[in-house]
Amino acid sequence: MTPLIVIFLLTFVQAEFGSVSSSSPVFGPSQVTGLLGGSVTVKCFYPQTSVNRHSRKYWCRESTRQCSTIVSSNGFVAKDFTGRATLTDFPENGIFIIEISELQGRDMGPYKCGIGFNDKGLSFRVNLDVSQDSVMAEEAQLFYIEQHGSLTITCDFGEQYASTRKYLCKMRKNSCANVIDTYGNFDPHFKGRALISHLDVPGAFNVIMTQLKKEDSGLYLCGVGNYGADGETKKLDVRVYEEALVPKQQAVLRGVLNGSVSTECHYDPKGNDTIKYWCKWKKHGCTQLINNNGYVLDSYEGRLVIYDNPENGTFTIILNQLKEEDIGYYWCMTDGEQEKKSTAELKIVEGQPSLTGENEISVVVGSPLTMSCSYSCEYAQYEKYWCKWKNTGCEPLKTHEQDQTGLAVSCDKGRRVLSLNFDQVTLADQGWYWCGVKRAGHYGETFAVHLTVHGVLKNTGTFSESEPDNLTISLEAPNSDVESRYAANPKINLENKASPINEPGVGSSADSQSGSKNSTIVLSTVIPLAVAFLILAAVLVVKFKLFKHSDLVSVGSYRTNISMTDFENARQYGAKDNVCMDVAHETQIGGLNDYVIATGSPKEEGKAKKPKRGSKEEVEMAYTTFLLNSENIPPPEITQE
C-alpha cells in the first residue's frame, strides 16, 4: 500500500512541476535544428519586470537527475562548451539569446533556458537537433505577446501570388482553422480582433491581432492559396503571457442613441510613436476616422475628437451623436516600432443621454446668444465645460470670467444648466460646440450643438455672409437732404427686425429665385416713394406752422407775410440797435394785427391798454425797425437727425 502512495505522490508532484513549467512566463522555441559543424541560435523571452531584468539567465542541459548549466549571464561556461557557447541578455527588450557553434552529434538532446538559480518554474524546454542534411526545414517565427496586447505578422510569398487568396489559420490536430483571409472570411472568435491588409509589395500582406488572450497562444500559419491543397505557408509560434502591469483596455463601449462614448488608448510615451489614430474595423481593412495630426473623416466632422496625453502614454477618443450605424469594432493604432494596438466593440443600448439641449441653433450675425446644456444629478460633482470643436481637438472655453472673444461660460447649479454666452455673434463663431463633463483628468459624456450664423439684410432683400454689416440704403435722389442725412450715418441696425431666413434646401429653387426678384423690385420702388412722401409731409407741416403764426401786412406798395415768431425772437434777443443802450429805451414790438410803439415804463407793462390803430407811417417805421434788427437775430438752429 505504501509504495502505491509514494508512486501517486511522485506522479502528482511531477504533474505539478509540469503544469508550472507549461505556465512559466519564460518562452522560447520548442525545437531548434542546426547543421553538423554549424551553429544554432536560440531566443528566449521573459516578462520585462524589474526583478527579471536583473536576475540570472541560463542555458542548461536536462537529464533525469538535474539540469546542468552550459552557459549563464554571470559569465559561467561549461568546459565542453568553452569557446562554443555564449549568452547575451537584452533586458530592455525582455529577451536573451544563446548561440552554440561547432555543433556535434553529442550536442543533441533536451535543454532549458530560464531565469534564476534553478530550473523550477521560470524555464522553458527546448529540444536541440543536429542534422547532417544540407537543407533544414524552416523553423517557426516566435511571437511573445503580453495578455491584452497585439502583434503584427508580415508575410511575403512573392509577386507570383499577387492575386491569390491570403490567409491566417491556427493549427489544430489534423487541420488549420481559418482566422481571417482576404476574401472576407473570419473566425467569430476573432471578430473585430484580427485585421488583414495587402502591402504595396505584390504578394505581401500584414495580419494584425489584438486584445490577445491566453487561449490565443499556439501555432499559426500564414499562407497563400488554400491550406493542404496549393500555395505556400509560413509557421508562426505565438505565446501570450499574463502581465499584471499591462493596462487592460475597455473591451466594450456602451452608449445610447444621440449620446456619446469615450475610450483611452495606451502607447509607450518613450517610443517613437508619431501618429496615433482610431479606425473602424471591417472585413477587408480598417477605415481611419481620426488621427492626432488633424485628419478627420468628413462624415465625422463635429462628432469625433482625439486628445493626446504623452505624459502618461494615452490618447482619448470621444465619439458623440451616436447612431445605429456606429455599432461595430474600433481600433486604437500607432505607427511606432513597439506599436500598441487595442480594439473595443461599440454597442448601442437603451436609455437617454444625461446631457441634453438644443442640437441646432440659427442666429443673425451681431445678435447676443446663450447656449444651454442641462446635466443630470450624477454629474453634479463633475467638472463641466464648453468647447469649440476643431479637427485638432476641442479646447475648453473660459469659465465664469469673460475673455477677449466675447464668450463666457456660466453654471447654474440650482437648475443644473451650463451656459455659453455670446455678447455678439460673428461669422467666425459658426461651427460645432460641445458641452461635456470630465473627472480626475478623464473625459466623460459630451453633447454637441451646431451653430449656424447668417449675414444681415441688404437692399436686395436677401442676407449676405460676405458683408456681415447692418442695412445700407442707397437713395435715388442724389441731391436730396435725406441722402445727405444717410450719407453721414449710412448704416442702420435692423437687429431683430429682419424677415425670417429660409434655410438652404427648403422650397423649390424657382420659387426662391422668383420671390427674391419680386422683393427686390418692390423694395426698389417703395423705398424712394416712402422717402419722397416723408419729405413732402415735412414741408407741409413747416408751411402750416408758419402760416398759423403770420398775418398779411401791407408795407408800402406790396403785401407780404411776416411771421410773428420772428418778432418774438427779436424780443427774446432784445432787438437792440446798440448793445450798450439802456433797457428802458428798448424798442418793443407787439400785437398781432396792429403795431404799437410802447413808451411806457416797465411797471406799466402789466396793465391792459386799449390797442390804438397806427397810421401808415407808424407801420412803415415798425417794418423798418424790424429790417434793421433782423441782422442781429441769429438764424434758427437746424437739428441733425
pLDDT for the residue 225: 93
Residue 541 lies in a domain: no
- Statement: residue 594 has pLDDT above 50: no
**Are residues 264 and 198 part of one domain?**
no
**Are residues 337 and 310 part of one domain?**
yes
**Are residues 73 and 151 part of one domain?**
no
Instruction: State the pLDDT confidence band at 168, using cuts at 50, 70 and 90.
Output: very high
- Statement: residue 459 has pLDDT above 50: no
The last residue of a domain, from among 419, 454, 489: 454
- Statement: residue 177 has pLDDT above 90: yes
**Are residues 28 and 126 part of one domain?**
yes
Determine the Cα–Cα distance for residues 395 and 435; give it in Å rounded to an integer.
11
pLDDT for the residue 273: 66
Q: In sequence order, what DSSP letters do the residues of 270-303 get, joined into one string?
A: TS----EEEEEEETTEEEEEEETTS-B-GGGTTT
pLDDT for the residue 7: 41
Give 124-148 pLDDT, tens digit per residue: 999 999 888 766 667 888 888 888 8
Q: Choose the weakest-confidence range: 263-277, 519-533, 620-634.
A: 620-634
Mean pLDDT (whole number) for 319-346? 85
- Statement: residue 403 has pLDDT above 90: no
Sign for the pseudo-dihedral over CA of 157, 159, 163, 164: negative
Question: What percent of the chain is predicted at pLDDT more than 70?
Answer: 65
Instruction: State the pLDDT confidence band at 395, using cuts at 50, 70 and 90.
Output: confident
pLDDT for the residue 396: 86
Please check whether residue 233 is in contact with residue 222, taking contact to mean a CB–CB distance below 8 angstroms.
yes
**Are residues 305 and 365 part of one domain?**
no
Mean pLDDT (whole number) for 455-468? 47
* Residue keyed to cell 519586470: 49
Instruction: State the pLDDT confidence band at 628, using cuts at 50, 70 and 90.
Output: low
pLDDT for the residue 164: 93
- Statement: residue 476 has pLDDT above 80: no
Closest CA to 22 of 112, 91, 138, 96: 112
**Are residues 203 and 262 part of one domain?**
no
In Å, how far are 320, 495, 497, 615 from 471, measured between CA atoms? 39, 9, 11, 62
**Are residues 37 and 126 part of one domain?**
yes
Residue 283 lies in a domain: yes
Cα 289 from chain centre: 12
Mean pLDDT (whole number) for 184-210? 91
Sign for the pseudo-dihedral over CA of 125, 130, 131, 137: positive
> Is the model's pTM score more than 0.75?
no
pLDDT for the residue 284: 78
Residue 183 lies in a domain: yes
Determine the Cα–Cα distance for residues 280 and 300; give it in Å rounded to an integer.
12
**Are residues 449 and 370 part of one domain?**
yes
Determine the Cα–Cα distance for residues 31 and 304; give it in Å rounded to an integer.
49
In which element (H, E) is residue 240 found?
Answer: strand 230-241
Mean pLDDT (whole number) for 178-198? 92
The most confident of the ranges 207-211, 521-525, 636-640 is: 207-211
Give 250-308 pLDDT, tens digit per residue: 678 999 999 999 999 888 777 766 789 999 998 778 899 999 999 999 999 999 999 99
The last residue of a domain, from among 112, 131, 150: 131
Determine the Cα–Cα distance for residues 469 and 305; give it in Å rounded to an integer.
34
pLDDT for the residue 234: 92
**Are residues 342 and 435 part of one domain?**
no
The last residue of a domain, from among 348, 364, 398: 348
**Are residues 147 and 228 part of one domain?**
yes
Question: What percent of the chain is predicted at pLDDT more than 90?
Answer: 40
CATH no. for residue 85?
A: 2.60.40.10
pLDDT for the residue 324: 95
pLDDT for the residue 506: 39
Residue 315 lies in a domain: yes
Structural domain count, the chain: 5
pLDDT for the residue 575: 40
pLDDT for the residue 260: 95
Give 41-61 pLDDT, tens digit per residue: 999 999 888 888 889 999 999
Q: What is the dihedral of CA 60, 63, 68, 71, to 10 degrees?
A: -20
**Are residues 343 and 359 part of one domain?**
no
pLDDT for the residue 98: 95
Bigger pLDDT: 591 or 631?
631
Residue 367 lies in a domain: yes
DSSP 77: B
Residue 513 lies in a domain: no
Residue 329 lies in a domain: yes
Please check whether residue 73 is in contact with residue 89, taking contact to mean a CB–CB distance below 8 angstroms.
yes
Range of the domain at 324: 252-348
**Are residues 563 and 579 part of one domain?**
yes
Q: pLDDT averaged over the chain?
A: 75
Mean pLDDT (whole number) for 315-338? 89
Instruction: State the pLDDT confidence band at 343, using cuts at 50, 70 and 90.
Output: confident
C-alpha cell read off for 265? 488608448
Mean pLDDT (whole number) for 494-506? 38
Give 357-384 pLDDT, tens digit per residue: 999 999 999 999 999 999 999 999 999 9
Residue 281 lies in a domain: yes
Bigger pLDDT: 214 or 539?
214
The most confident of the ranges 289-303, 475-489, 553-567 is: 289-303
Give 83-116 pLDDT, tens digit per residue: 999 999 999 888 999 999 999 999 999 999 999 8
pLDDT for the residue 92: 86
